[in-house]
Chains A and B, each alone.
Chain A
Amino acid sequence: MGMTMTQKILAKHAGLESVRAGQLIQAKLDLVLGNDITTPVAINEFEAAGFDHVFDKSKIALVMDHFVPNKDIKAATQCKQCRTFARRFDIDNYFDVGEMGIEHALLPEKGLVAPGETVIGADSHTCTYGALGAFSTGGGSTDMAAAMASGELWFKVPSAIRVHLTGKRKPFVSGKDVILTLIGKIGVDGARYQSLEFTGPGVAELSIYDRLTISNMAIEAGAKNGIFPVDDITRAYVEGRVDRSWTAFEADPDAEYERTVEMDLSQVDCTVAYPHLPENAHPAREGKEIFIDQIVIGSCTNGQLPDMAAAAAILKGKHLAKGVRGIIIPATMSVYRECMRQGYTDIFMDAGCVVSTPTCGPCLGGYMGILAAGERCVSTTNRNFVGRMGHVDSEVYLASPAVAAASGIAGHICHPADL
């Protein structure tokens, strides 16, 4: 029996000829990631166990992104603990205020992830790098501590769902609409413990940024990872960023999949996930009665330059509806700078939005856009759980940058074509 793409990457990193779904393996890691929320807990575990060295200082990335610039004294203390640890072990890839970005946008941008590599992160959205043909998945802080010490971690080899993509996209439809539609179809536990392996002629229709958004939200279907084949689009992205050799893995022709989900991209339209689960997918066109108080455009899901460009194209020459607040957060410092160069920042500010330096802040209800009771936000983030962005009686509607921008102008959920 053949192996899936994920299984082949895991077998290689476990030093095995082959692996099968359900098998427990010990795999070598190419990168270990943590942020300012999860790393302090990992450091405590690392130190409590008495470790005095890291396995490879060039294969650990610590990104201060959730509550920075420090939102309060406690957040400042957590960052300080990470900074001290990074200095102690001379960690090469420590990213602090001024050079940081939201981790899952920053690592691909810096060339820290390449196709065929294995990445563990103490952050659930670590699955983002499947877009590059890497195996990457989220774990906890104790996983991170063990991984920093040993460079290895235990995994259960996942079975897989094949998502077969066909067809051409309609105008305004982005990777976000594709993944929200898929989660709506299979549910928030539809891929629990499994890989989502994207295949088919429709893959070539998706830019690397669409793929990053799709893989990013694989976890919202419960998946362990969401992975794309390596093609010319992948190669064009990693070229000039990754300066080490890498391997493109392919699924065997006789790989076993638990099931296949067919997705015709021409049938996907702009989609909004209503509270309080990402599976509550609705057509954006049907949201005219849902009036809103805020839009947020950014996050590890949709904070890349094409996301900013899509929002700017809608907001250009327009203004937010009276009473709507707009918060725009480019995901990395280079995206932020490019927004200024391209004139997007002016467009956003002319439209009445604020533009922040990179932070995860509002997505998880940390700071920079907390909602009061009864308030509604259309957000390009990834979760709409109860209380996710503030008060337990607030509501988050997940959408693409184009839909969020159009909704901000209309004052209610709005398909960009209906503006």
Chain B
Amino acid sequence: MNVQGAAHKYGDHIDTDVIIPARYLNTQDHKELASHCMEDIDKEFVKKVQPGDILVAGVNFGCGSSREHAPVAIKASGVSCVIAANFARIFYRNSINIGLAILECPAASSAIENGDKVAVDFDTGVITNLTKNETYQAEPFPPFIKDMIEKGGLMASLKAGKGNA
């Protein structure tokens, strides 16, 4: 699977409160959540984001609250993949469970700039910066997680009766 889009670049420790502020947690509607995505850190994000675009951030992306509304809002806003130096563990777990593609790649995290055109090949983990003509190698998923993603996430995996590690 391949995706391609423009990069939206953010810094370190992007917490789930700025990804989707708690004042909007009285809804579970994906479109409504998406309409407030990143609102407290970048009011322009929802106006700029195009289907397929890629979020790029530094360390500890998704720290804080366990709200699954955060990866849901990002996915529903059209983002195809989040690339970060590393992720907070609950966000990492939630993203895999709901099928939001995420990649850990410190090299890509530091080199990609806002607006760069980026392509991702999930099979190889190769991230290509089309603007700068550079490539970066992301950490591949462990087989257990890859298997879960291929089955369609945690619930589908459980339903298939093969949720065991």
Interface residue ranges, A against B (CB under 8 Å): 24-26, 37-38, 40-41, 44-45, 48-50, 66-67, 71-72, 74-75, 78, 121-124, 126, 138-143, 145-146, 149-150, 152, 154, 188-189, 192-193, 219, 222, 224, 277, 364-366, 383, 385-388, 392
Contact = CB atoms under 8 A, between A and B. Distances in A.
Contact of A189 (B22, B60, B97): B60
Given A41-B28, A189-B63, A143 B17 contact: no
A364 B65 CA distance: 9
A135 B71 CA distance: 25
A176 B22 CA distance: 24
B13 A189 contact: yes
Contacts of A222: 60, 63, 88-89
Contact of A38 (B27, B60, B66, B159): B66
Contacts of A44: 28
Given A139-B93, A192-B89, A387 B21 contact: yes
Contact of B26 (A24, A48, A78, A387): A78
B23 A365 contact: yes
Nearest to B155: A49
Contacts, number: 137
A26 B89 contact: no
A154 B90 CA distance: 13
B97 A140 contact: yes
Interface residues of B, number: 42
B164 interface: yes
B18 A188 contact: no
8 contacts: A25-B165, A40-B28, A78-B26, A124-B66, A140-B90, A140-B97, A222-B89, A387-B18
Interface in B83-133: 86, 88-90, 93-94, 97-98
Contacts of A25: 165
A149 B158 contact: yes
Contacts of B154: 142-143, 146
Nearest to A77: B26
A126 B66 CA distance: 10
Given A40-B28, A385-B64, A366 B94 contact: no
B155 A192 contact: no
B15 interface: yes
Contacts of B151: none
B150 interface: no
Contacts of A49: 155-156, 158-159
B158 A150 contact: yes
A392 B36 CA distance: 14
A142 B154 CA distance: 7
A145 B23 contact: no
B5 interface: no
Interface string B143-160: 010000000011110110
Interface in B1-50: 13, 15, 17-18, 21-23, 25-28, 40-41
Nearest to B88: A222
B75 interface: no
B155 A385 contact: no
B52 interface: no
B10 to A, nearest CB: 12
B60 A142 contact: no
A188 B65 CA distance: 13
Contacts of A72: 26
Given A154-B165, A188-B60, A366 B89 contact: no
Contacts of A388: 17, 22
Given A48-B155, A140-B94, A222-B88, A189 B59 contact: yes
A121 B90 CA distance: 11
A219 B69 CA distance: 18
Nearest to A81: B28
Contact of A386 (B17, B63, B69, B158): B17
A142 B153 contact: yes
Top 4 closest pairs, chain A to chain B, by CB: A74-B26, A140-B94, A364-B22, A142-B97
A365 B88 contact: no
